[in-house]
Amino acid sequence: MFPLKFSLQALFVLVLLVLFGCKKNEVSGQPDAPVENLTSVGSTNKGIQWILDKYRNDNMHVMVAAHRGNWKNAPENSLSAIRQCIDSGVEILELDIRLTRDEQLVLMHDKVLGRTATGSGEIKYQSLSALKQQYLIGRDGKVTGERIPTLEEGLLLAKGKVLIMLDKSEYLMPWIEKVLEKTGMKQQILLLEFNDYETTVNTYGSLLDSVIYVPGVHQSNNNMAAYISSFQHSNYNPSCFAFWIKKEDSPVLPYIAQVQQTGDRIWINTVDADQCAGHTDLVSLKAPDSGWGWAIGKGGNIILTDEADKLMSYLRSINRRN
């Protein structure tokens, strides 16, 4: 037999190992593994510096923004969706944020559980620990093995790899800014709103010195020329404007030229019909020249889409992407 002293020491070490292993897999507000290491070996991602250089200096390169991550191939707003987008070479990910009862930010589009995650009830009435007990639901309605990610987890996964457009963020800025500070991610963030210049400055303050702010141009703007000019001639020249094009004869269309004169990018959403005059992803799947080609013809060089892979293939075929 082993000496008693040795047996007790071995037993103590074994207990510690078991407890430590269980702790790592417990459901908590922390990721189970370093999410930065989730990208695949075969990733075509070229890194954030390459993306920022294209954004600033190559308007012929049409950038792709993936709506809710790669939600058609992975649960929307999930870490696997983010990882797949990074690996595919997408430059921008659009993610949705919700605030929990204990003031934690999670990635979730809906206000309530049930459609994209198990459970029920509104996010704002649930704690992070309670939400971490739930599982994400895929496009096919099947429950997956993925948990609801926090904004911090998503940002750490994307760090140094892609730009992140945070949707539903305007009223969550005090909490968002803390996470951006903690993760060192301000330089990779896009914020898109339709507010006037004064409201924008009051809402975001000094954060505008670091993030990429994208003003939205909508037909409800009383004076579109003045609205655009107020940003272009400010200290926060945004370098990109998002155009909401409701119809073929939309009054916003003539103002695309005003944005192009200063070399700013044009963001067009082809997910929603009323934002691209009906030239949607669905149209593009049958006739890409009539969908994405129309958006590019109007000056679009950032396109928000649900069909990122197919859009990137189309762009390469017309020499608008390398």
103 domain residue, yes or no:
no
Q: Can you name the residues that pair with 243 across neighbouring β-strands?
A: 217
CA 23/CA 153 separation, integer angstroms: 18
109 is catalytic: yes
81 domain residue, yes or no:
yes
pTM for the structure as a whole: 0.85
- Which 3 state secondary structure label does DSSP give 154? helix
CA 65/CA 90 separation, integer angstroms: 7
Tokens representing 140?
Answer: 């096919």
Q: Can you name the residues that pair with 190 across neighbouring β-strands?
A: 165, 212
233 is catalytic: no
Neighbours of 89 (CB within 10 A): 17
12 domain residue, yes or no:
no
The letter for the amino acid at 208 is L
26 domain residue, yes or no:
no
Question: Which H helix or E strand runs over 67?
Answer: strand 63-67
169 domain residue, yes or no:
yes
* pLDDT value of residue 40: 52
Task: List, for residues 163-172, the tens digit of each pLDDT value.
Answer: 999 988 889 9
The alpha carbon dihedral of 267, 272, 277, 278 has a sign of: positive
- Look at strands 189-193 and 163-167 and give their pairing: parallel
Number of domains composing the chain? 1
* pLDDT value of residue 214: 96
**pLDDT per position in the chain (322 positions), as tens?**
444 444 445 444 444 443 444 333 333 333 333 334 444 546 889 999 999 999 999 999 999 999 988 788 899 999 999 999 999 999 999 999 999 999 999 999 999 999 999 999 999 999 999 999 999 999 999 999 999 999 999 999 999 999 999 988 889 999 999 999 999 999 999 999 999 999 999 999 999 999 999 999 999 988 999 999 999 998 887 899 999 999 999 999 999 999 999 999 999 999 999 999 999 999 999 999 999 999 999 999 999 999 999 999 999 999 999 8
120 domain residue, yes or no:
no
* pLDDT value of residue 39: 44
* pLDDT value of residue 17: 41
* pLDDT value of residue 170: 85
133 domain residue, yes or no:
no
Give the structural domain span for 282.
33-97+150-317
Please choose, from the candidates 149, 153, 150, 103, the residue with its C-alpha nearest in 3D space to the C-alpha of residue 126: 103
The letter for the amino acid at 306 is D
In the set 61, 109, 218, 279, the catalytic residue is: 109
- The CATH number that applies at residue 248 is 3.20.20.190
Please choose, from the candidates 262, 270, 315, the residue with its C-alpha nearest in 3D space to the C-alpha of residue 295: 270
CA 228/CA 237 separation, integer angstroms: 10
296 domain residue, yes or no:
yes
In the set 61, 67, 233, 279, the catalytic residue is: 67
* pLDDT value of residue 42: 61
Tokens representing 265?
Answer: 């990018």
The letter for the amino acid at 274 is D
What does the H/E/C string look like for 257-312? HHHHHCCCEEEEECCCHHHECCCCHHHHHHCCCCCHHHHHHCCCCEEEECCHHHHH
